[in-house]
Amino acid sequence: MKLMSILTLGLGLAAGPLLADGHASGDAEAGEKVFKKCKACHMMVAGDGTVIVKGGKTGPNLFGLNERVAGSLEGFKYGKSIVAAGEAGLAWNEAEFVDYVADPKDFLKRTLDDKKAKSKMSFKLKKEKDATNVWAYIVSAGTE
């Protein structure tokens, strides 16, 4: 019994910091530079109105993206496919995000198992490293 609680405590302490960072494996500082490729279409503005990155309105605000249901930001006019993916249960995490930004249209086709799926985002971020870094940056900017 005693040994078990020591083990559990030890594991808890070891896993704590890992879990805290578990949703972003990239380098946020490098990702801030990658975001320059996104800001023509995307802004990052916190819930209280704080502007983190002044950006375009062609795409939805990317602040607080971690765990947000895909296609769900109120006031943004998404395409049908990404809304359908969100309704089917897609919420953004690192793996889905990296897969999506590499080729949004192909990602939606696979996710929905629908060859006719479309994406309003035509931009592709091919390098996986850039994608994990920009995800880390978006996550590091915080949540609502």
| Residues contributing to the site for ligand HEC (CB under 6 A) | 37-38, 40-42, 58-60, 62, 65, 70-71, 73, 78-79, 82, 97, 100-101, 119-121, 123, 125, 134
Minimal distance, residue 8 CB to ligand HEC, in Å: 37
* Cβ proximity to ligand HEC, 58 vs 143, nearer residue: 58
* Cβ-contact 117, 81 below 8 angstroms: yes
Count of alpha carbons within 13 angstroms of residue 135, beta-carbon side: 26
Let me know the angle formed at the C-alpha of 106 by 100 and 108, rounded to the nearest 5 degrees: 65
* Cβ proximity to ligand HEC, 16 vs 75, nearer residue: 75
Distances in Å between the Cα of 38 and the Cα atoms of 3, 15, 30, 60, 112 are: 51, 33, 14, 11, 25
* Cβ proximity to ligand HEC, 121 vs 136, nearer residue: 121
Minimal distance, residue 121 CB to ligand HEC, in Å: 3
